[in-house]
Amino acid sequence: MLPGEDGFTYQGFNPVWDSRKPAAVARCASPADVQACVEAARLRVPIAARGGGHSYAGYSTPEGGLQVDLRRLAGVEVLPGDQVRVGAGAALGEVSRVLAAAGRCLPTGTCPTVGVAGLTLGGGIGVLARKYGLTCDHLVSATAVTADGRLVTTSAQQEPDLFWALRGGGGGNFAIVTEFVFGTVPAPDVTVFSLQYNTTADVLGAWQGWVAQAPDELWSNVVVRGGAQPTCRVGGCFVGSVGELASLLSGLPAAASRFIQPQTYAEATKYFAGNGIEHESFVASSRILRSPLNDPGKAVDLMIGQSDESYLIFDSLGGAVAAVAPDGTAFPHRTALASAQIYFKTPPDNAVGTAEAMGRVRDGLGALTGDTGYVNYIDPQLPKWAEAYYGTNLPRLREVAARYDPDRVFAFAQSVPR
């Protein structure tokens, strides 16, 4: 489909990147369609896959290139043996709905319109990660079109180096995945909670020690909201009863208000999904807390005077995430305490100024955490981004990229460097 034709659309979730325009959009309905796209575009124009369209830097829209729209490859099929086959264009909401109806669960993120492909390829942090691991940890196999147009199946036994790289090496690198097969777990009943606080630094400090000692069944985050006097919320979910959770929450400071509710897995996915926003303008980045911050007050101070639409979100890791070695998959942050997302909402016409403010928070937090980051919150301005996203796994990722895409067919501004 070309510009000017009826139905020509290419925009993703974030309107900040709507100014990026492809030369054409191919709406693929089969792996053969994807192969034809790669053959037509390779060494001629930029090419990028689009699943959920949530790339934080708009990379699923290649400027002047070919956008390979995978949303017609969105089937979700529950298989025998507690597995599920998922098309690369499927969104998390549909995956969760189909699995919940079968009494199964795949640990994923919470936004229902995020694509399963991008989430998995970057690792897949979510609210059940401490109990069940990352989304990529459940990947059994992936079918993908390589830069030379081959359709290959990757698994621990087939194309194992590519399979390793697809589990945390970042979306847009190496190949275009058309289908995933995941292992699933029984859908758990959980207890969700939210604690509101008027103070922040002491809560963040207490939370760090508390979550480090928490059982794997507990996942939690701290959301610091900017303003003249930043406030925070501690939330999360627990694979267990209200009584057990209440006992655990006694280890945190007393909250100004408190919400606790038992829910089924299906109810919890809707709870964490919120209002299901179709589009939201923002600029964002990330850091990884390898260990507790020595002075959490310095992190909170970064949010003083920021917009009340700015957020610093600490999501707990550990538990089952840490049960996999840092080099077991391409996702390197296995031993970390938490990820930290820096998320600033902004009108599109003020994105540059907001990005500068967000960048100061990112760099200030980086002074406390070191050069770290999560590739699914990819940031075009992040210093030393390759080292931050991939750590000690970067050399092997370079080798895989050079082997599977020597001509840089899938190259973009922050693709794995050769």
pLDDT, tens only, 256-296: 999 999 999 999 999 999 877 889 999 999 999 999 999 99
The Cα–Cα gap between 233 and 406 comes to 47
Query: Residue 58: its pLDDT value, please?
Result: 97
Quick check: 168 and 123 in contact, CB under 8 A?
yes
Domain ranges of the chain: 15-69, 76-187, 190-263+280-391
The CATH number corresponding to 76-187 among 3.40.50.720, 3.40.980.10, 2.60.120.1140, 3.30.465.10 equals 3.30.465.10
Query: Residue 219: its pLDDT value, please?
Result: 98
Average pLDDT, the chain: 97
The Cα–Cα gap between 117 and 185 comes to 19
- Please work out, in degrees rounded to the nearest 5, the angle formed at the alpha carbon of residue 97 by the alpha carbons of 96 and 103: 80
Quick check: 346 and 159 in contact, CB under 8 A?
no
DSSP summary character for residue 91: B
Q: Is 184 left (phi over 0), alpha (psi -120 to 50) or beta?
A: beta
Query: Residue 278: its pLDDT value, please?
Result: 86
Strand partners of residue 394: none
- Beta-strand relationship, 139-146 and 83-87: unpaired
Quick check: 48 and 60 in contact, CB under 8 A?
yes
Mean pLDDT, range 163-189, rounded to an integer: 97
Mean pLDDT, range 395-418, rounded to an integer: 97
Identify the helix (H) or strand (E) that includes residue 178: strand 175-183
* CATH assignment, 190-263+280-391: 3.40.462.20
Q: What is the DSSP string of 320-331?
A: GGGGS-TTTSS-
Confidence of residue 401 (pLDDT cuts 50, 70, 90): very high
Mean pLDDT, range 237-260, rounded to an integer: 97
Mean pLDDT, range 56-74, rounded to an integer: 97
**Proportion of the chain above pLDDT 70, given as a percent:** 100
- Residue 48 pLDDT > 90: yes
Identify the helix (H) or strand (E) that includes residue 285: strand 282-289
CATH architecture for residues 15-69: 2-Layer Sandwich (3.30)
Query: Residue 252: its pLDDT value, please?
Result: 98
Quick check: 48 and 415 in contact, CB under 8 A?
no
